[in-house]
Chain A
């Protein structure tokens, strides 16, 4: 029986406080001996390190990392404490939530337990070790190569799962012969970009795939299916988890998982400039309000002469260019400062808001457009009359 020294990366959310001792994060080691569970708790501190576990025995051990939430670091402390209650709704679990967008219901989704105590620690990570456990590697990838994986609500992403070590169901020695792949989601707060604090807005999809053979499987084109009222404004994350049953009690442990973040499609609205209006001078004071710009994007406005027509290259309005390369969607308000160099005589002009993201090969996509008429020539109808 070997003592295992484990190096487990810890994602502790608690910082050592200078004054009162906070609850300490801990690793819980769970082992099954003859169908009974033995639990051993090991306190941890800091953000990475190693602990000495209890000797491993039996068929395997599950290591769970628990962390207590430190409200100093929670974005929710900035909000009204009732913010979480916005997410409660009387939504029956039997209702077909996927039809909600057609019914026009704003999905304030609450699928957690209403008695979830915020005092309790949160399970951050779980690893299962054992000599006879199957091994899986679950990977999610999108066109955006950023890590952690992320994609946009309207883009496809790919799943691949590699399984090794599954036992043959006919093997007399027994062993684990099936791996279940589940899919779950968490909705984020639209402005804070984090999950809701009390387990609200979390759920699973009913589909579950069972693998009975070793090998590599992949699905290269998956749409995000977050149950949001507007599919292009879905914001959250999806997690694929591979699980096996350690014993016959019906309990399953995770042996591999992957998560992908889903960010919404951006939107734009013009202010202080009116569509189809006849301007007698270059419009001034105009601006564009941009929302949910993709974390890795360059967004700008271009203007060209003529009616709106997709596929034209115009002159870029320098004051409107904004670029981000960060980890969460951004909002921005950009001025449209137009000068003589943007215009070429009178007539109809169109301003288009374009954005380039890792999707679509970084070719621009049009977010919104507005046309107006510029008429600076004064026509005077009059006569000179002389009086003598």
Chain B
């Protein structure tokens, strides 16, 4: 809401500097988001009071040396008229007419004045310098709106009203300050000058003034000439109508145009402008019909009927069916022949005020917020009117709006006002009355106030307050302008607001600490994040929304849209589906980073969204957490220390995953070769299993996927793990007693078929080694001529230790023998040493 200060001052005296006023209102809940100055000090272009002055154009003469220039003699209060050279086309009609019988008023700028350059694109400031133009000295000018910063208009010079006082600095005549407020839904009353003024009056104690409302009812009575029938009283609690005849449509006066412009609306003509002006001023949207285009001057408020259509003011034709009312039938203002307008939302083209209009039928009504909201949403046309109706308009306001509008119409557009007003008011305002005790104020706000003090805080806002129960409580009745007040908590807010939020003391909760609980799920996340960061991965958070194309790029088989939750209103096709895997977005991030750097390691913890089986009790999807890892590029950062140019491979990622699981104390995870997952290299991928349950997958990303994602690295690795399952497998850490006896180390080198997995070899060694084997480390793997085709050599270091004694050579030899036989027997391995 944009509020010109000059307008506000008509309603309430303001003595505070404008910044202080803005801060005061902000602290009272009406947030001032900005202060815009026009022409005054502090404006982008302040109008110098010495140099930009209202002048009177006495005579316009042809420039002796230029056809397209004229000379204007301007009296700006200096006694002697000053000659101005100008090319303003709107002065040409006055050319060489001698001294004008009725001088024009304009804005005279003297040499040295700072103005905007009228010819420049945008707002470029310039300083007025004297120079001869075609032989005549030009050291002053008449200004266009653009040159003053009032609008983009540079077609001609600004002509001021006849009563503009010659010699007055323009700053004092048109300078203004606009306060920009962010009006929250509960402050709908402040969507008007009156509402803002009322807040200021309550806060400062200044009296509130109402504007000029004089109407001369010099026409015949309205009764019998205008009829209103409300068929839907619940949707239209009040409808008033008045009639004014003999109006002349034309431009509205400059002051009104200026205020509308400053408030953010475009001036159209005097009738429409008055309608808007009164809406902004009092907060009551209204509609002006051309009365001659309303059949029988009979307005009928009803729901749309099947097949009805309406062309609205914006020249769009609408089918008036339930799609226009968000499931409800649209509410219309009709005449006996059919629809005239969408109630409270938009007028119809057929009954619109035009240049030929002489009789205006003025509608001021109160509508049900819900139907207005639905219609304006369906139309995608949030108008200034619908914005106010949706939030609730004061039931008692329409007569006031009628009088103010008629008063302005009569003054500005002329005409005779029909006597009386049609006031159809089927659902009168029910005032809300609440009994508020000091105890309740203390309980909610935390401050101790007496009933009398409570009443004193509320009364300036228009609440009627009576002390009851011998002063133990206040009976509060909200004014009709406060439809937001429905319960005690609302009054507590008003009290806190008027008392001043900043004056309310600070305390720390005196309540006992509520029962505390552990949160293993959060602790797991914290732990995993720390471990992975420690392992050198950076944490990414990607979008939860993705596209089928992005899913298909990673795995065409996953791109079955029916499995996914889809947005009904996506913003872009790239963010249309809720993800079922973190890999598409994380691999995208990997690919992107690889364009910038040689080594990228990323992880993400986030939710995926899985539809529940049909018929499930909970309509919401499951949202299990996943952990994804992605890495590619150099194993070591390029540096001067090491010539190692190797790139990461499957085992870099596997090592990270193994470390993570082991640090979480999860054991017994098996890596089962994964050969048919289109996301992964068939020879370099594994499924992680533990007791038949799948923890996730890990592998080298399939070259096809790398190609589609344009991953610029020879190999990229990725894993996705089920964080919920990992959490379930975490075992508590148990201390193992540390043996005081020495260890015995044995190296064992064996040759086995390549098809025998290393995990199986290790398991076999463990099986035969028994409990004395403390650790088993594979430290060499060799394939080549020396061991023969289809075979490989594996070399392990075995460390044996007993908790209670020093192992002797004979014991070790016996165990070794057992292992060797076992390997030979179970795996057909041969021992090399």
Does B bind A? Answer: no
